[in-house]
Structure 1
Amino acid sequence: MNVPSNISKSSLLAFVVFWAISFATETDILTIDMTPYVMFSFIPVFLVSSFVILSTVCPFFWLLEKDGFDKTQVFMGYFPYYVITTFSICAFFIISSDFDTLAIAFFASAFISTSQAWVWFAKEKSHEKV
């Protein structure tokens, strides 16, 4: 598994989704003074994305590929349950926050990026030793 590449792509996706939602809903926050904060916000997005992917997505592939499953079987067997669970958790926190814009942006970006991380892990080619 190419974990660093997947984490990088997922972090970039989460960063774009978060700021796209934030700028689309809060038009008054986009100023030239915000540019450094927007750029530096990639660091916490990267850290959170790394933690979430390493703790919730990777274990499925690490543990189940050793038990004779290939990446496609892991994806087809466990991805639907993961998505249902994460969607429920994200929806709960969005509703609990009274649909706060930043909560919507955060949980939407987390849901979209982790779901896409599953797809990227499942599509990777296996490097089997001959």
Structure 2
Amino acid sequence: MTFWQKTLGGLNFPYYIRHFLFGLIFFAVLFGGMVWNNEFASTQNKIFTTIILVILQILYPYSRFVYESVMNYIFGDNVFFVNALLMLSTKLITMMLCWCFAIFIAPIGLAYLYFHYTKQEKISDNPQ
């Protein structure tokens, strides 16, 4: 496996697509508000903002992977019964935070995927 297959290709395709589509909600809102409807911004600023938004959108599924892995480690298989409105609002806030900070959180997930697949590759190359 190459470096790119171990990192960017490390998540399940359906998992990546699912979170990518959820991330499009934030992308569309911010793109519409910061780029499309901002007549005061220069073309250079609009291009820069668009590039940053695209990078955040691409990295969001990896950021969400890190968040869900940490939460799974903390909570395990426990089930909590809470108000649906509280749960949905909490979910939306965590999704928004993961999307906004994806550029900082996703490298942790990418590094984990790289080391995980490198370890799996070594195990499969050297069966005992």
User: How does the TM-score come out when normalised to structure 1?
Assistant: 0.38
User: How does the TM-score come out when normalised to structure 2?
Assistant: 0.39
Flag the structure with larger Rg: 2
